[in-house]
Amino acid sequence: MKKPLKILHLVGDHEDAGGVLSVIRNLQKVTPASSMEHAVWVKEGYRESRKPPLQYRYSRYVVAESIHHWKLLAQAWPAFKELQSLLSNESFHLLHAHSRGTLLVAILASKMLRRKVLFTNHNYAHRTGLYRWAARQPRIHTVMLTPNMARHYNIPESGNRTSIISACFAQDLLTSPIPSLHATPPRTSIKLVGVGNVIGWKKWDLILKALELLEPSQQS
């Protein structure tokens, strides 16, 4: 019987929040356990608060994200040594890094352990040079969310070790007829519905406050 593909997602989160963990849950849901197993590398102290449950591996030192770049740099080596110890005791076919902090750990794994690494970039970072350099490394495959992200980092979309998840909309949308607007019934307010995770640092509340400042005629 063929063994399932084992993937270790290097996330480093200290709490069960955000879209990355939601995506991993969806991957786990749609891939049969007989063909693919997902494990998530998180910070010690992490507590699961959402369903379905995931399999976890823990690190004392890993830092997923920080506004202080020195913290991301300082955690890289001790977190890598923890990862090295984990990999010596448990085999994984693929390492998949998801955050800025775990990208540094993944780079060390590709260099020191000669492991092939997949890195999905979820951020628009200021230090674009690091990401261009990582995208050129022989054992790192970089995945970006949109063509605009590739342009931000000045990384060729058609590179041998780069991939784009989505162009955001189909090309024929630009040539399709614009849908006609239907009149809103009298005394019926327009309702804004959003789907996603409410994360403080994304500042979704600023969008709602801006909408509140619109003139009534603009709101309708």
Identify the helix (H) or strand (E) that includes residue 33.
none
pTM for this one? Answer: 0.79
**46 and 146 belong to one structural domain:** yes
Q: In the predicted model, what is the mean pLDDT of residues 151-173? A: 82
Average pLDDT, the chain: 88
AA letter at 41: W
> What's the CA angle centered on 99, arms 74 and 22, to 5 degrees?
145
DSSP codes joined into one string, 96-116:
EE-SHHHHHHHHHHHHHS---
Number of compact structural domains in the chain = 2
Shared domain check, 203 and 95: no
Annotate 77-99 with DSSP letters as a single string: HHHHHHHHHHHHHS--SEEEE-S
Residue 33 contacts residue 4 (beta carbons within 8 Å): yes
**148/192 same-domain check:** no
Residue 175 lies in a domain: no
Higher-confidence residue of 38 and 186: namely: 38
pLDDT confidence of residue 200: 64
Residue 128 placed within a domain: yes
140 and 199 within one domain: no
Is residue 154 located within the same domain as residue 213?
A: no
pLDDT at 184 over 60: no
The pLDDT of 42-49, averaged and rounded, is 97
3-class DSSP state for residue 172? helix
Tell me what pLDDT residue 19 has. 87
34: containing domain:
5-164
Lookup result for tokens 């050129």 = 136
The pLDDT confidence band at residue 45, using thresholds 50, 70 and 90, is very high
Q: Has residue 97 got a pLDDT over 80?
A: yes
Rounded CA separation 139/117 (Å): 6
For residue 13, the model assigns a pLDDT of: 96
Work out the pLDDT band at 176, boundaries 50, 70, 90.
confident
- Residue 81: which CATH number? 3.40.50.2000
Looking up tokens 């992200």 gives 149
Average pLDDT over residues 51-74: 95
177 exposure class (CB count in 10 Å sphere: 0-12, 13-18, 19+)? exposed
